[in-house]
Amino acid sequence: MMPAEEIVGNAVAKQIRELSLRLEESVRATAQARKELSELQCSAALLVRMVGKPGTCRWCNADVYWVIHQYGPHRKPNGQPTEAPYDPTGINHWATCPLAKEHRHGG
Ligand SMILES: [Zn+2]
């Protein structure tokens, strides 16, 4: 018969081992996700440079690429496609523009 302390100790040790395995798994998954994210960012940056029209943001003057959005929530009332600014990194400039927030509504 094992003393109660030893049984509890074994259960705790088992839990720690399981948690540590799960943590290891998460770390691996995070590394994989980071790698995929960085590949996606490279692709987005390439694509934006290929199809975008170089220009500047009218609010903060940053270099951006204007990309035509054929579909999306921000179509003009006449149904015409709109253009959206993208950073050279491939991220939508409205997400990174330091001045976009104050101009987004009624800008
Ligand atoms: Zn800007």
pLDDT, tens only, 10-40? 999 999 999 999 999 999 999 999 999 999 9
Q: Which residues of 7-17 are buried (b: 16+ CB within 10 A; e: fewer)?
A: eeeeeeeeeee
- Expressed in angstroms and rounded, the spacing between residue 97 Cα and the centre of ligand 1 is 4
- Expressed in angstroms and rounded, the spacing between residue 66 Cα and the centre of ligand 1 is 12
Give me the pLDDT at residue 101, please: 77
Give me the pLDDT at residue 22, please: 97
Instruction: Compute the C-alpha angle 18/21/23, nearest 5°.
Output: 110
Q: Which residues of 29-66 are buried (b: 16+ CB within 10 A; e: fewer)?
A: eeeeeeeeeeeeeeebbeebeeebeeeebebeebebbb
Global pTM reads: 0.65
- Expressed in angstroms and rounded, the spacing between residue 65 Cα and the centre of ligand 1 is 11
Give me the pLDDT at residue 44, please: 93
Torsion of CA 75, 78, 79, 85, to 10 degrees: -30
Residue 77 clears pLDDT 80, i.e. is over it: no
Q: How far apart are CA 91 and CA 77, in angstroms?
A: 25
